[in-house]
Every structure is written in structure tokens, then in C-alpha cells.
Amino acid sequence: MKTILLTGGTGFIGSHVAVELLQLGYNVVIFDNLSNSKIEVLDRVEVITGKRPSFVKLDLCNYEDLDKAFKMYRIDSVIHFAGLKSVGESVTKPLDTYENNLVSTINLIKVMSTHGVKNLIFSSSATVYSSAKHFPVSEETPTIAINPYGNTKKIIEEILSDITIADNEWSITILRYFNPAGAHSSGLIGEDPNGIPTNLFPIITGVANRKYDRIKVFGNDYPTKDGTCIRDYIHVVDLAKGHVAALTNTLNGYNVFNLGSGVGYSVLETIKAFENVTGIEIPYEITARRTGDIPVSYADPQKANKQLDWKAELSLEDMCRDAWNWQLKNNNMNNSN
């Protein structure tokens, strides 16, 4: 069976992809510097699947370490998750995000080339659609970034496109995630950000768990059904299966796919869904808009549905249920409240 390298594989998305791949019989190797994840994830992946991924702690920005580790395994394909993903930190300390995300990716491509491995899936983001004016958003929508984090995704996509033009032996698939949420149904792996979370779902579960007294809803004066922003939440297990679909439907050259449910929910609708699923009231207050938020973002997932034979199956209610189950079983998370 093939061996798949997951850079950043102990993170939120990567760990769920590791579970899906191991359960399908793939060999999984993880390289991670553990800057925003915990080594215990390996134990939990093993409990879920009965198999333990191979693991090397390393920073992809260190070319020598990466090259030395890469040649220890016979890698068939790489899924590149590793990168700094805090929008806020990318604004306050842009050079850290640019250096980390770009240098790590360039090193990875150089090492893959050196060892003749030219199958890559890249973890991108719908944040590159920040100027979208028409919805649902398709892959043809022009990309523009409104923050350094999103710009690293856009720049990396352009680098990868140029590589496939220069060398047609490369197969590079770009997966643009909309809003990942939820957790594995076991409650053993899930979203566990360092520091105080900024994404909506971990804030909701933190309020439900009384780590925070209420949610600040960033604006209710947007041009939407209830004035709050609309997003396309996609269950992290659906997202993980989208990576398996991309791996098994390897296409030649450079291909881009939106991974979203195709359905948009407002902030207030999402809060209400969580309350309905759990029976827990989620207090909130309307505050000023958050800089950089766009009013509406939801995917047209038809291209992935057809070409990858993949479709998101789990509902917003499933995401609420599984996110809450994860929070309940991991009270130690979000420790910095």
C-alpha cells in the first residue's frame, strides 16, 4: 500500500486525514514541528485506527532536517498542511507568516524533486476568495488576499502552478477549504488551537463549557438575512475524505477544487443550531465588525463533486454535536482563558 507524507499532520485537519488514510490501509508518515499541535494526537490516532503513523518532529524551514527525514521513507505522495494559519498574527507579524509558509513550502518542493516524488496536495483556503461578489463561489472566481496569511496561500498556489508548467511530471492538487468545523465522532481528535481561539466554533464550545461568558458577534449590520456574516461550514471528517478523494483521483498537472458544503449559514443561525443540538443556551452580544471579515462566503462544490466523486455529507447539526463532544472530552483545551 502507498505511503503518504502529511506535513503538519498532527494538526486539526491533518490528524483527521491521517485517521481516514490509516483506516484505508495507507502507510502514513507525519512531519510536524508541534508549534500548534500536541504529540498526544499520535496516541489518539492509534486508539481510533489501531495503527500508529510514523512521526518525525521537524521544522520544514530546516532544509537539511527535511531532506534527511524524507529519505528515511519511500514516499509516494505528500499532503502539505504545515503552516502558520492565524490571520491575526499574520497581520501583526507578517514576516513570520511569510517566511514560515513560503520557505517551508519551497524546501518541501525542492526535497520532493530531489527524491523524485511529484504528487502533491496543498492545503489552501477560501480566504483567497476575499473579493468574491457572486455566490456560490466557484474555482474560477478571481483570487485576492486581504491579509498576509491569505496572501501566503495565494502566492504558494502561484508557485505550485508555475512548477507544473515548468515540469509536466508534477501532479499538484489545490484544495481550498471553506470553514472546517466539528471533530471526529470519537471525541479523541478535534480543533485544539493554541491560545485563545478566534474561529467561531471553538468560541461557541468554549462558551457552552463556561470557559467564556458569551460570544461577541462581530456585527449584525451586514447585507445578509439577519445582518450577521454567512459562512460555509464543512465537517472536518468530510474535509478529510475530500483529501482521500483527491489522492485516489490523482489528476495530471495543476488542479484546484473548492471543498465546501455549498450551504451558507449566518453566525446567529450557527449559534441557534448549536443550542438546538445541545440544549445549551449560548449568550452573545452584538459588537463592532471584525476587520477583514467578508459578509458572505459559501462554495460551489460541483467541480469536486464531479471530478473527485466527493460530496460533503455531514450537516451543521453533526458539526455542532461532534464539536461539543470533543470539547466535553477535552476540557484541558483552550487553556489560556
Which one of residues 102, 218, 307, 318 is an interface residue with ligand WQD (CB under 6 A)? 218
Q: Could you tell me which residues come within 8 angstroms of residue 272 by beta carbon, excluding any fewer than 6 positions away?
A: none
26, 63, 129, 149: the catalytic one is 149
Verify whether residue 149 is a known catalytic residue. yes
Q: Which H or E run includes 318?
A: helix 316-329
Cβ proximity to ligand WQD: between 35 and 114 the closer is 35
Give CA–CA dist 253/171, Å, rounded. 5
Give CA–CA dist 121/289, Å, rounded. 34
User: Is the CA virtual torsion 7, 234, 241, 157 positive or negative?
Assistant: negative
Segment 47 to 86, residues that bind ligand WQD, using CB under 6 A: 85
Segment 142 to 201, residues that bind ligand WQD, using CB under 6 A: 179, 198-200
Segment 287 to 316, residues that bind ligand WQD, using CB under 6 A: 290, 293
| Closest residue to ligand WQD in the complex (CB) | 229
Cell numbers placing 187: 471525541
Phi-psi region of 331 (alpha: psi -120 to 50; beta: other; left: phi over 0): alpha
Q: Is 127 in the site for ligand WQD (CB under 6 A)?
A: yes
Give CA–CA dist 257/261, Å, rounded. 12
257 with 246: CB under 8 angstroms?
Answer: yes
Q: Is 231 in the site for ligand WQD (CB under 6 A)?
A: yes
Work out how close the CB of 117 gets to ligand WQD at its nearest, in angstroms, rounded to a whole number. Answer: 25
Count residues contacting ligand WQD (CB under 6 A)?
Answer: 18
For the chain, the helix, strand and coil percentages under 3-state DSSP, each to the nearest 5: 40, 20, 40
Cβ proximity to ligand WQD: between 186 and 224 the closer is 224
Q: Is 132 in the site for ligand WQD (CB under 6 A)?
A: no
Cβ proximity to ligand WQD: between 3 and 199 the closer is 199
Would you please indicate which residues are annotated as catalytic (active-site) residues?
149
Residues in contact with ligand WQD by the rule CB under 6 A: 85, 87, 125, 127, 179, 198-200, 203, 215-218, 229, 231, 267, 290, 293
